[in-house]
Structures are given as structure tokens and as C-alpha cells.
Structure 1
Amino acid sequence: MLFTPGHTHGRYSYYFPDHGALVAGDAIVTYNPYRAMSSPQIVSDAATVDLKRALESLAVLAATGTQTVLLGHGEPWHQGLEQLVRIARSHGSS
């Protein structure tokens, strides 16, 4: 388990290194249902309790180097967490 607060205070993501996968849940998404926007990002400001921590938690995810990411909203990502996080950071908060 990886502590990835921001969307909620007690948020965790689940890392499965033997399978090369990470379940990020809502720590990062590829579809934002609040804005109907398809792109890597953190969940909208209105649904995130701590934007600063949500953005900081992206570093925890990226450090795994995982290729496959399962998300709470949006299609699974197979192009690596580093790229996913880079794109999400470029969007910032919404």
C-alpha cells in the first residue's frame, strides 16, 4: 500500500510490483467526471480535500515506475506512471 492522500485524507493506492500494476483509485484519473474531461489529472477541486497533497502524492505514484495503472475514473493506463503523472501535473488542479 502507498499512502497517497489528497483526494481524501486517508487515501491509499495499491502497488503490485510482481504484476507490474498499481491500483491508483482516485489519486489520479484519466477521466474527470466533474468536468467530463478525458486526460490524466487529479480529480476536480470540488471533490479533493487537499489539492497540495494530491499533487504531492503524484510523486509517490511515479516512484514505482509501474507501467499499468488502474484508475477509479477512466480507462486503465499502460504507458507508465511517469508519463501519466507528468501529464496530470501539467493540468494542475481543476
Structure 2
Amino acid sequence: MKIIELPIEFEFNRQKSYIFPSLIELNNELTLVDTGYPGFLPLIESGIMKNGYEMMDLKKIIITHYDDDHIGSLLDFKEKFPWIRIIASEKESRYISGEQKAERLIQAEDMLEHMREEEKEFGKWFIQQLKNVKHVSIDEKVNDGEMILNNTCMVVATPGHTSGHISLYFPRLKSVVTGDAAVNENNELAIANPHYCLDVEKAEQSLAKIKNLKAETYFCYHGGKLKIESQNF
């Protein structure tokens, strides 16, 4: 069993940017954690194959939370590889499937009403980006403390960034896949975009929670992998 970091390079606002989805190999099967922005399937597919894997071995996708940079290409994956099972938390599954209006969209619409005029163009663009995200049904809904992937991975509820956000703890590998519960900022774990957290206090508690797991490696979606040998908690 191993976790592979998939650095995905792209351009945003004429600047080079990266996201770092995680790929889990277990018993010759692959599980992808988060799917990037809309249109990112070819980039992630290329990253998987560059690591020597075949797409037919991708059996599961775990979604940490509903945000367009994490679920944007989810439907593309499901349509191209229909055998893939999609896993998400009980709460986030409601937004991903479209059963409930997404918290992030509600937040963005509320923020737009209080933005200065010069900011509103971006606010409207962001709302449209969220509205463009395609809904997908969830095959497996999980909750805090549940063991998945043949009992090798513990689901860790890490609310704050969104209310149903989950991270993934792999005791055997002493590793955590953080989603947006933590980002790697200058070789330190930090809260992702506090300004956009739905509950900053809960986000701080969740950050402390995954730090307390005493993992040796944290796979951060933003900022990339962090080894705690270079980290002082």
C-alpha cells in the first residue's frame, strides 16, 4: 500500500498554480482523492499514467468536500469510467448529489451582497463557477471514525472549511490526506483560506485534530506533501 502525490500544474489569472490530488494504491487497485477543477480529467489521467498505472485500475474516488477545485471533474470521471465508486461524507453527499444547495454557493451569494463594487465582478464569476459544477450521485456515504479501503483508512471528520469536510488517516503509513483541513504553507500546516471557512473556530479544531494524529506525512491538496521531520508543531 502506498500514497502517491499527483502534482497538477495549471494556469490561473496568468499565474502558474498547482493542486496535489492523492492516489492510493492498495491490492493493485487505485483510489483517487479529489478530482480538480472542471476539465481537469485529462491532467489527472496523465498524472496517473505517468506513475505507471492504468486507468482501468482506478476503482474509487473519495471526495473530501464540495468545492469546485475538488469536485469539478467528478462527473467527467464517472462518465468516462462508469465502474468507479464515489465516496463522500454523509453531509457533503447532499451537496455533491444536488439534494441540497451547496453551502459554498450560499456563502458566495451572501458575500456578493456585501462586496465593494470593484470586487463584484469576481464574486459573480465565482458564483457562476459553482453553479456550473455538475451534480453526481454518491455510492458510499461515510462518517467520522469509519474504516474504509479494507480497514486501512480511517475517515476523520474535519469540519470548518465546510461542515461535512473529511480527511483520511492511514495508520499503517502514518500518513494523513488533509483535503482542505490543512495546507502546506512554508513547511507548516495551516488553515486553508480562513476567509472562506464556513466556521473558522471549527477549522482550527480540525487542524489540531489532524496534527494530534502524529502522522509522519501530510498530503496537502494545496502546497503539497509535508514531512513532519521538517515541521515543528
Paired letter, 1:12: I
- Long gaps (5+) in structure 1: 32-37, 87-94
Q: Distance in 2 between matches of 1:54 and 1:45?
A: 8
Q: Pick one of 151, 155, 165 that aligns with 1:11.
A: 165
Structure 1 residue ranges, 4+ long, deviating more than 6 angstroms after superposition? none
Cα RMSD between the aligned structures?
1.8
Matched with 1:58 is 207
Superposition deviation, residue 76 in structure 1: 0.3
Quote the offset at 1:29 in angstroms: 0.1
Partner of 1:73: 222
TM-score (norm 1): 0.72
Cα deviation, 1:2-60, whole Å, max 9, x if unaligned, reads: 111001100110000111111011001014xxxxxx45311123321100000011221
- What are the residue-to-residue correspondences of 1:34-53 with 2, within 5 Å? 38=186, 40-53=189-202
**Greater relative CO (CA pairs within 8 A, separation 6+):** 1
Query: Which whole-Å CA distance do the structure 1 matches of 2:191 and 2:175 have between them?
Result: 19
Which amino acid in 2 is paired with 1:25? G
1:5 and 1:27 map into 2 onto residues whose CA distance is 8
Aligned partners of 2:181 and 2:203 also within 8 Å: yes
* Distance across 2 between alignment mates of 1:40 and 1:30: 5
Alignment match, 2:180: 26
Asked which structure has the greater CA Rg, the reply is 2
Q: Is 2:190–2:207's contact at 8 Å kept on the other side of the alignment?
A: no
TM-score by length of 2: 0.31
Paired residue total: 77
Whether contact under 8 Å (2:168, 2:178) holds in the other structure is yes
C-alpha distance in 1, partners of 2:218/2:189? 11
Gaps of 5+ in 2: 1-154
The letter for the 1-side match of 2:191 is: I
